[in-house]
Amino acid sequence: MKIALFVPCIVDQFYPHVAVSAVRILRRLGHEVVFPVEQTCCGQPAFNSGYHAEARRVAKRLVKVFSGADSIVSVSGSCTTMVTCFYPKWLMDPALAGDVRHIASHMYEFSDFLVNQLQTVDVGARFPHKVTYHDACHGLRELRIKSEPRQLLAAVRELELVEMDNAEECCGFGGTFAVKFTEISTAMGNDKITGVCATGADYLTAGDSSCLMHLNGLLKRQNIPIQTIHYAEILANQ
Amino acid sequence: MHDFKQAAHDNLTNTHLRQTLRKSTRTSLLKRSQVVQELGEDTWQQLRRRAHQIKKETIAHLDEYLEQLEAHLTEQGVQVFWAETAAEANDYIIQLAKREGASFVVKSKSMTTEEIDLNPALQAAGINPIETDLGEYIVQLAGERPSHITAPALHKSREDIARLFQEKLGIDYTDNPQELTKIARQKLRQKFLTAKIGVSGVNFAIAENGTLVVIENEANARLCMTLPDVHVAVMGIEKVIPKLEHLPTFLRLLPRSATGQKFTSYVSLIRGAQSSGKAVHLVLLDNGRSEMLADPRFHQALYCIRCGACLNTCPVYQRVGGHTYGWVYPGPIGAILTPKYQGLTQGKDLPFASSLCGSCTDICPVQIDLHHLLLWLRQAVVSSGSDRHLIEAVAMKFWTITMISPLLYRLASRLVRWLPQRAFHYIPGWTETRDFPSPAPKTFREIWNESLK
C-alpha cells in the first residue's frame, strides 16, 4: 500500500525520530511510504487560539498537498483530529469541499491505521522496559482511540505495560493553554506525573509529542528520572 | 473587572482549598459513575440521546411551548410574569413582597435567582432573603456565592463549616454533619412557619399541562412552596419541556449526573393554585436567552439542565474552584454562559481557560458539545477585539506567512537552529515551570531528503 505521511510541525522540528520510526515500521511491514515535502502545518495552533482566518489559509494548503493521497497517516492524535473532525465542520469552501471530505476520511492516526486498517498488532518490536501509556485527549475523546496503542504495546517483546490511575485525565498541555495559563497547566501536569510515578514505570508514552513535551519538561525540571517517548519509537525498536 | 488568572493563582496556592475541591469532585464523580454503571452504558447513552432530542425539539419551537405553558398555568390560576431582564424579575418579586408586607422571604436553591442577583436586590429593598437549602445556607452565612451549580458549598470542608457555624451562630464547635444539619434546621423552622413568601426555582416546566417540577433532597423547597401564602417560582425560559412523558428521561439523568443518586428524595409536581388556596407566581426569565437562541452555533447551550457534572469532571474546575470563574455559573458551561450572558469582555478569559480535553462533553447528560462551543467562543472573542493581544496577533500573522510557504518554513527552521541554546531557556509562560526542548539537530524533512527518500 502507498502511504502518505503527515508529519506535524512539532514532530518535524523537535522530535523527527517519531516520524522516522513510523517510516521504518511501515516499510518493515512492506508498504511504500511517501512524504509530500510541500506540507507544513494543519493550522491547529491558530485555530485553537481563535485566529480562524489565519488557520484557514494554512489548512487549505494542507488539503491541497494531500488531495491525491489515498492513505494518509499521522503520528499525532491531535493533528489528525484537526483534519478529520474540524476541517469538515469548519473549512467551508465550495471549491475545496470534495478535497476536504477526501482528506478527512482518508487520514488516520498511526495506531488506528496499524490496528484497524492494516490489521496488524505485532510489528516485531522489542523494548525491555516498564512502560505506562497516557491517553492524550484528542486521540481518546475525538478519535475514540483507546485500545489500539495498548494492543500494539502489549505485543512488544519484553515490554511491561502498567496502567496509571489517571491515564484518561488531561495532562494540562492544551496548546496555547499551556502558556496562557501556566499555573493551571502545571498543576494538571504535576498530578499526571504523580500518577505516572506511582506505576514505577521507566518510560511514559503517548500518541502526541506535544503532551510529551510538556510532561518531559516538568519531569526534567524536577529531576525525575522517567523518560518520555512516543509509542511509535517504541514500536520501531528492535 | 474580575481577574480570572489572579483568582486561579490564589486558589491554586491554597492547599486546603485544593484538597477540598479534589475530594468533593472525586466523590461526586465516583458516585455518578457507580449509578451510571448500574443502569448500563447502553441505556445511559440512549437516555442522553433521547434527552438531547427532546431539548433540541423544544428549543427549536421554544416560543410555542412557552405560550402553551403560559396558557395552562393561567387556566390554573398561576400568575405568569415575563421578565426580559434581571431587573424586571427582581422588581416584580420585590413589589409582591411589599404588597404582602413581608419583611423576609424563604428561598430554596435556585441558580436562576443567583443569576439575577435577587438576594442583593431584596436586601436593598429592606427585605431579608433567607436561604433554606443547607448548602446555600452555609454560603449565605459565609457571605459568599455558591461555587458549584448543585453543591453550593463544595469549596468548604466539614471543618470549615463547623468553624463558620461556631463563629456566626455562636454555638459550640462540632463537625458532626448530622448535628450541623439539625442546628440549621432549628434556625430555619421558625422562618418557614412565619414566612409570607416562598421563592423557589424550577427544574422543568411541562408545557402540555402547566406543571412545575422541582427536585430536591431536603424538603426545604417543598416547605418554601407550600407553607407561605405566596409562592414565587423563577425559571429561565429554556426549562420548559413539551410533555409529561418527557419528564422521566430527565428524572433519570439529572440526579445521577448531579449527585450520583438514582433519584432525589423529593420530586414535587406543582399544578396551579386552585387546590391549595395559595397564590402562585411564575417569573419567566429571558435575561439574554433569546439572544442565545438566535445564535445557531450556541443555542444548544440552552439545553443545559444544570446538573453540574461538567464542573466535577473538568480538570480546570477541579483545581481552581467555582469562584475563580467570576460569575454564577462556573466550569465548562459557565465558561460559555458567562461570556454569552455577561458579554465577551466580562468573560474573555473563560473560553481560553480550558485545555479542550472534552471530558465535559462526554459527561454532559444532554450531550451539549461543550468543549467545541468553547472553541467557537475563542474565535468570537478574538474577532470581536474584546481581548487584544498585539504580540499574539502579530505572531499569528508571521506564523501564517511561514506556514503557507515551504521555502520560508525551511528558512525559519534554519534560523531557529542558528540560535544559541540559551535562547530556549526562557520561553515566557513555559520555562517558569518546565524545561523547553532544543530543536532537533535536523528536521524530519532534512532527514527524509538525506536518507529516507
Average model confidence (pLDDT) for chain A? 97
Cα angle vertex A57, ends A113, A111, to 5°? 10
Question: Residue A92: what pLDDT?
Answer: 85
Which among B12, B409, B447 has CB closest to A20?
B447
Determine the residue among B23, B26, B448 to mutate to test chain A binding: the one whose Cβ has the most chain A Cβ atoms within 10 Å: B448
Q: What is the pLDDT of residue A93?
A: 86
Query: Is the CB of B443 less than 8 angstroms away from the CB of A12?
Result: yes
C-alpha cell recorded at residue A219? 519531569
A173 closest CB neighbour out of B355, B361, B448 = B355
Of chain B, the percentage scoring pLDDT greater than 70 comes to 99
Secondary structure element (H or E) that encloses residue A57, with its range:
helix A52-66
Give me B262's grid cell.
438514582
Instruction: Say how many C-beta atoms besides its own lie within 10 A of residue B279's C-beta.
Output: 17
**Chain-wide mean pLDDT for chain B?**
95
Mean pLDDT of A208-215: 98
Phi, psi of B142 (to 5 degrees): -80, -5
The shortest C-alpha distance from A172 to chain B (Å) reads 6
Can you give the pLDDT at residue B421? Answer: 87
B/e letters for A98-111, b = 16+ CB within 10 Å, e = fewer, are: ebbebbbebbbbbb
Q: Which residues of A touch B433 (CB under 8 A)?
A: 182-183, 186, 217-218, 221
The pLDDT score that the predictor gives to residue B63 is 98
Do residues A223 and A11 touch, judged by C-beta distance below 8 A? no
Domains and CATH numbers, chain B: 63-290 (3.40.50.10420), 390-452 (no CATH)
- Please name which of A113, A110, A121, A124 lies closest in space to residue A28, comparing C-alpha atoms: A124
Q: What per-residue confidence (pLDDT) applies to B295?
A: 94
CB contact under 8 A, B444 and A187: no
* pLDDT tens per residue across span A10-51: 999 999 999 999 999 999 999 999 999 999 999 999 999 999
The answer to whether residue B33 scores a pLDDT higher than 80 is: yes
pLDDT at position A84, please? Answer: 97
The share of chain A scoring above pLDDT 70, in percent, equals: 100
Q: Residue B395 CA to chain centroid, in angstroms?
A: 34
Q: Does A69 touch chain B (CB under 8 A)?
A: no
Q: Nearest-CA distance from B316 to chain A in Å?
A: 7
- Tell me the pLDDT tens digit for each residue of A71-98: 999 999 999 999 999 999 999 888 999 9
Region for A43 from its dihedrals, namely left if φ exceeds 0, alpha if ψ lies in -120 to 50, beta otherwise: left
Residue B302 has pLDDT above 70, yes or no: yes
Residues in chain A within 8 Å Cβ distance of B3: none
Q: Within an 8 Å CB–CB cutoff, is residue A61 touching chain B?
A: yes
Residue-level pLDDT at B278:
85
Q: Which residue carries 506511582 as its cell?
A: A198
Contact A37 B396 (CB under 8 A): no
CA separation for the pair B210, B270 (Å, rounded): 9
Q: Rounded to a whole number, what is the distance in Å from the CA of A150 to chain B's nearest CA?
A: 20
What mean pLDDT is predicted for residues B406-417?
94
Q: Do A217 and B409 touch (CB under 8 A)?
A: no
DSSP state at residue B437: P
Instruction: Tell me whether residues B356 and A46 touch, CB distance under 8 A.
Output: no
| pLDDT value, residue B274 | 61
Cβ–Cβ gap B355/A38 under 8 Å: no
Least confident window among B187-201, B203-217, B376-390: B376-390
Q: Which of A9, A11, A12 to mutate to test the interface with B (most CBs of B within 10 A)?
A: A12
CA atoms within a 13 Å half-sphere pointing along the CA-CB vector of A143: 33
Closest CB to A187: pick one of B12, B413, B440: B12
Q: Smallest Cα–Cα separation from B373: which of B291, B312, B290, B301?
A: B301
Q: Does A194 touch chain B (CB under 8 A)?
A: no
Q: Percent of chain A, pLDDT > 90? A: 98
Q: What is the pLDDT of residues B370-391, one digit of tens each?
A: 999 999 999 999 999 877 788 8
For residue B276, is pLDDT > 70? no
pLDDT digits (tens, 9 = 90+) for A47-64: 999 999 999 999 999 999
pLDDT band, residue B453 (cuts 50/70/90): confident
What average pLDDT does range B167-175 have in this prediction? 95
pLDDT for A98: 94
- Provide the shortest C-alpha distance from residue A84 to chain B (in Å): 14
Chain B environment of A214 (Cβ under 8 Å): 434
- The three-state secondary structure class of A133 is strand
Option in A15, A48, A186 nearest B356 (CB): A48
Q: Is the pLDDT of residue A135 over 90?
A: yes
Of B6-10, B349-353, B420-424, least confident by mean pLDDT is B420-424
**Which whole number is the average pLDDT over B405-413?**
94
pLDDT number for residue B386? 75
CB contacts under 8 A, A 111-150 vs B, are 137-138, 141-142
- CA distances from residue A230 to A67, A130, A233, B168, B434 in whole angstroms, order as listed: 27, 14, 6, 56, 19
Show residues of chain B in contact with A15, CB under 8 Å: 440
Neighbours of A61 (CB within 10 A): 20
Q: Tell me which residue in B356, B416, B440 faces A16 most closely, judged by beta carbons.
A: B440
How far is it, in rounded angstroms, from Cα B139 to Cα A6? 53
B5 and A181: CB-CB below 8 Å?
A: yes
Q: How many residues does chain B have?
A: 453
Q: In this model, does residue B248 exceed pLDDT 90?
A: yes
CB B321 within 8 A of CB B308: no
Predicted local confidence at residue B385, as pLDDT: 83
Read off the pLDDT band of B275 (50, 70, 90): low
Contact criterion met (CB below 8 Å) for B260 and B35? yes
Residue B132: name the closest of B197, B203, B205 by CA: B197
The answer on pLDDT for B313 being more than 70 is: yes
Give the number of other CB atoms < 10 A from CB of residue B422.
8
The residue type of B74 is T
Distance (Å) from the alpha carbon of B356 to chain A's nearest alpha carbon: 6
d(CA B58, CA B70): 15
Task: Test B396 with A54 for CB contact under 8 angstroms.
Answer: yes
pLDDT at B271: 87
| Residue B299 CB neighbour total at 10 angstroms | 18
Contact A192, A166 (CB under 8 A): yes
Mutation target among B4, B312, B357 for the A interface, most CBs of A within 10 A: B357
* pLDDT score at B59: 97
A63 in reach of chain B (CB within 8 A): no
Among B358, B404, B444, whose Cβ lies nearest the Cβ of A61?
B404
In B, minimum Cα distance to A15 occurs at: B440
Residue B388: all three cell numbers together: 487584544
What are residue B138's DSSP bridge partners?
none
Maximum distance among all Cα pairs of chain B, rounded to whole angstroms:
89
- Residue among B404, B435, B445 minimizing CB distance to A37: B445
> Does A49 touch chain B if contact means CB atoms closer than 8 Å?
yes
Residue A185 pLDDT > 90:
yes
pLDDT digits (tens, 9 = 90+) for B101-130: 999 999 999 999 999 999 999 999 999 999
- What cell was used for A189? 501536569
Which pLDDT band, with edges at 50, 70 and 90, does B272 fall under?
confident
Q: Is B212 exposed, middle or buried (0-12, 13-18, 19+ CB in 10 A)?
A: buried
Domains present along chain A, CATH in parentheses? 2-117 (no CATH), 130-236 (3.40.50)
Would you tell me which residues 23-42 of chain A have a C-beta closer than 8 angstroms to some C-beta of chain B?
A: 23, 35, 37-41
Residue of B399, B434, B449 to mutate, testing the A interface (most A Cβ within 10 Å of its Cβ): B434
Q: State mean pLDDT over B36-47.
A: 97
